[in-house]
Chains A and B, each alone.
Chain A
Amino acid sequence: MNYFFSDWYYLSIRFIKQIWRPWLALIPALIFPIFFFWVGTQAFASVAQVPGFPTESYLLFIAPLAIFTAIFFGAGNAGIELVVDISSGYFNKLVIMPINKLAIIFGKLTEVAVQATLQGLLVLILLVLFTDARPSTGVLGIIAMFAMIVLFAMAWSNISMIFALQTKNPRLVQSLFIIVFPFLYITTGQMPRALMPEPFHTLVTLNPVTYIIEGARALMLSSWGDPAILKGFLVSIIMFIALTSVTLYSFRKILK
């Protein structure tokens, strides 16, 4: 444990540098959420006029999804970078150092947190500059929203890391990107539950992403007393603990 924090720190710095190396890799992760947000608000703006829609502005309704999408897209990179290290042989170099090996996984999670915060902040700044979206819970609400979403991004990044550690197959880990879409779109991100057909209700209820988006939306549109906030935090925390435990188990297995 002596050197755990310094090992974690130096490995985190290495992983964080990978976010913008090469810097071109940042572009899709930033452009696509903005693109989806723009298409969503332009194409479905009139949805807010439908009876039963909870807000007058579709833009405000969809804003948490825009931030979440930006963060969600980058969360899978942790596994891709890990599998590249494994297949290139660099991972072996790290393993035979007198370091606390858990620092490797915690370093990756730190990278995800930094990347998620930066991407989310960028989208938030664009929202504030170019729209009338203003979180009803103020600055504290923004901090709480980021804490919830970033924690979930870290939890989500574990999925790609688990596959990286279990399969060591770059192509498989890369292909996991596709599972983002059902989780992202079978939610109440774009449409309130009341306006969805019945069969979707069950799927939306089972999807953990729903609770994060509803929690973030509550911080954006509602007040601190909204139970969706607590639910969002609970889902983030449970997912983080559960998936990080599986990652650490897979990691210990690969070291044996």
Chain B
Amino acid sequence: MRLDNDRRVEKMPGREMKNNIIEVKNLKKVYKKDIRAVDGITFSIQEGEFFGFLGPNGAGKTTTIKLLVNLVKKTDGSVKLDGFEVSEQPNEIYKRIGLAMQEVGLDETATAREMMQLHGRLYHMQKQEIDDQIKKLLELVELERVADRYVVTYSGGMRRRFDLALSLLHNPRVLFLDEPTTGLDPHARRLIWNHLRALNKGGMTIFFTTHSMGEAEALCERIAIIDKGKIITEGSPKNLIKQYEVENLEEVFLKVTGHSFQESELNLNATDPYVRIRTT
């Protein structure tokens, strides 16, 4: 699928293809009680790259995404997206990004078509453009026949697919996906994989978190592994497997995090539910 990403967004002067579209420097997010959700991470992502962000539960993946899209305020550091400092020019950022989070937040009182029409209007798109996008995207995620049903009637897989379509409505340059295939059956997962590959092939930059090492290996050109708020390794899946002299990415993960998934979930047992929420 060819995506005309530049149509609605002004290009930065002098920007060339394969420039860094995301640049993160010494990014920190510290919550109350000195909980360091993100602890000074630095990385960059090239335009058109499929970037995987992996880590155990509570490692700081979701907080990092929220920092990158300006959903939470950074404590320190810098995040630039397409040359714009995220916290200083948020509206420039919002035009350029699409986001599908772990919790598929949809308006349960609306139909899929109504939601897409509303979102199109709020992205200040023209009516014809909105209608064309709705048709194209609902076909893409195979939901065109249920477009006029209330989303509350959708299954988990349908909701995920619709959320993906919704996040693509305004042709974003960068798509942020937080565990988009969690809880999906193999068919739905494959369907989403295929969509993501097609979008990436069309030039879209994808920032992707997952718990599935197989998924990361299959989709991502480059990955970073975060643990306890710090990036502990970064590179292409192939190079990391070679570098750590192991068989697959899962073994890389276990080797660099130095503990099992269960151990890493310790902070989820915190007695204060707000601490649990903040640290995930």
Contacts and interface: CB of A to CB of B under 8 A. Distances in A.
A98 B122 CA distance: 7
Contact of A98 (B91, B104, B118): B91
A175 interface: no
A93 B123 CA distance: 11
Contacts of A88: 103, 105-106, 108
A11 interface: yes
Given A10-B118, A10-B121, A96 B69 contact: yes
B109 A3 contact: no
A95 B123 contact: no
Most chain A Cβ neighbours within 10 Å, of B99, B101, B107, B108: B107
Given A95-B71, A97-B94, A98-B94, A7 B122 contact: yes
A84 B73 CA distance: 23
Contacts, number: 63
Contacts of B123: 97-98
A256 B103 CA distance: 21
B272 to A, nearest CB: 14
Contacts of B122: 7, 10-11, 94, 97, 99
A252 interface: no
Interface string A1-24: 001001100110110011001100
How many residues of A sit at the interface, in one of the four size bands?
A: 20 to 34
A52 interface: no
A205 to B, nearest CB: 41
Interface string B30-73: 00000000000000000000000000000000000000011101
Contacts of B109: 17-18, 21-22
Contact of B94 (A10, A22, A84, A96): A96
Interface in A11-46: 11, 13-14, 17-18, 21-22
B124 A14 contact: no
B201 interface: no
A91 interface: yes
B101 to A, nearest CB: 6
Contacts of A91: 105
Contact of B70 (A6, A14, A89, A96): A96
Interface string B91-105: 100110101010111
B110 interface: yes
A90 B121 contact: no
A242 to B, nearest CB: 27
A85 to B, nearest CB: 8
A94 B107 CA distance: 11
Interface of A: 3, 6-7, 10-11, 13-14, 17-18, 21-22, 84-85, 88-99, 256
Sorted nearest first, the 9 A-B pairs with minimum C-beta distance are: A89-B105, A90-B105, A21-B109, A89-B103, A98-B91, A98-B94, A10-B121, A88-B105, A97-B122
Interface of B: 69-71, 73, 91, 94-95, 97, 99, 101, 103-110, 114, 118-119, 121-124, 166
